[in-house]
Amino acid sequence: MYAFLEEFLSTFFPRLCPLCRKVILDEREGFCVDCLEGFQVIREPVCSSCGYPLEGKTESEGSFCPGCISRNTPLPDLYTVRSIALYAGNVRHAILAVKYGRQAPVAHSLSIFARDHFTRFFPPGGFDRLVPVPLHPKRLRAREFNQCVLLARPLASRLGIPLDVDAVERVRHTLPQSASTEKARRKNLKGAFRVRKVPRIEGQSILVFDDVYTTGATLEALAHCLLSAGASRVAALTVARSPGPDIS
Ligand SMILES: [Zn+2]
Ligand SMILES: [Zn+2]
């Protein structure tokens, strides 16, 4: 539907870049050329597990990042994460515009960007559901909207993957960040999410979606929850990733 509407509208109105208001010359893109140049896209090779960029290694060396190597509990085999760009520059501006400005045109442009890069990581038709990271109801009430859903909705439509916003709920308000040991932190994370509609998850291949990957702890907790509810596979896609090393 979006594609049809866009084609129809672009016949009459040139599309403007939602970040800088310049005309978008390439109609397939969501942002103008100048803004896209400021997106620091993460290229292969990346960590096979968490998607962290592995600079200086060749793709054939395919391996794990220092964070994943030093983990006491490796990520589950059925779970992989991929992030599209570093959380810096224009990507950061765009994400903040969605998060704090609720700017739907920016969300639509980011969904075009995310769709184009999705195919670098995942085969088409590989997922049964797209699940955006849910907010706790208290936070949702305070913020009035979930910025992750604002991004996930047009993305799911562009990818042709059914969006599922209520199969999983967040039952803990905040994830404890300061637990002293890795073991304690992981124990605390258990139970942060709950699957409300098990039949929608059981046996399904799930793509979890978030705007920014920071420590990976939230996504990991959600992945564990989905896998224990019987998901056949869970992968996570995030638009951006904090540039610092991940040691979570
Ligand atoms: Zn622009
Ligand atoms: Zn890694």
pLDDT tens-place string over residues 87-102: 999 999 999 999 999 9
For residue 17, report the distance from its CA to the centre of ligand 2, in Å.
34
pLDDT at 14: 78
Q: Which of 193, 209, 130, 210 has its CA nearest to residue 164?
A: 130
| 105 pLDDT above the threshold of 80 | yes
Beta strands in 39-195 (DSSP E): 79-86, 129-132, 168-170, 193-195
Q: Which residue has the tokens 């939602």?
A: 18
CA dihedral sign of residues 82, 208, 85, 36 = positive
The region that residue 197 occupies, defined by phi over 0 for left and psi between -120 and 50 for alpha, beta otherwise, is beta
pLDDT at 5: 72
Overall average pLDDT of the 134-163 stretch = 94
- 224 C-beta neighbours (distance < 10 Å), count: 20
As given in the structure block, the two tokens for residue 221 are: 């907790």
Q: Which of 74, 45, 82, 46 has its CA nearest to residue 236?
A: 82
46 DSSP 8-state letter: B
Overall average pLDDT of the 126-136 stretch = 95
As given in the structure block, the two tokens for residue 8 are: 């129809």
pTM, rounded to two decimals? 0.87
Overall average pLDDT of the 164-170 stretch = 96
Q: Are strands 168-170 and 193-195 parallel, antiparallel or unpaired?
A: antiparallel
| 233 pLDDT above the threshold of 90 | yes
Overall average pLDDT of the 73-88 stretch = 87
For residue 203, report the distance from its CA to the centre of ligand 2, in Å.
26
Integer Cα distance of 154 and 150 in angstroms? 8
Ligand nearest to the CA of 53: 2
Residue type at 77?
A: D
Q: Assess contact for 214 and 188: CB atoms under 8 A.
A: no
Q: What residues does the ion ligand 1 have nearby, CB within 5 Å?
A: 17, 19-20, 32, 35
For residue 198, report the distance from its CA to the centre of ligand 2, in Å.
29
For residue 52, report the distance from its CA to the centre of ligand 2, in Å.
5
For residue 193, report the distance from its CA to the centre of ligand 1, in Å.
37
| Average pLDDT of every residue of the chain | 87
Lowest mean pLDDT among 20-34, 49-63, 100-114: 49-63
Q: Which residue has the tokens 């810096």?
A: 88
Per-residue pLDDT band for 172 (boundaries 50, 70, 90) equals confident
Overall average pLDDT of the 49-68 stretch = 78
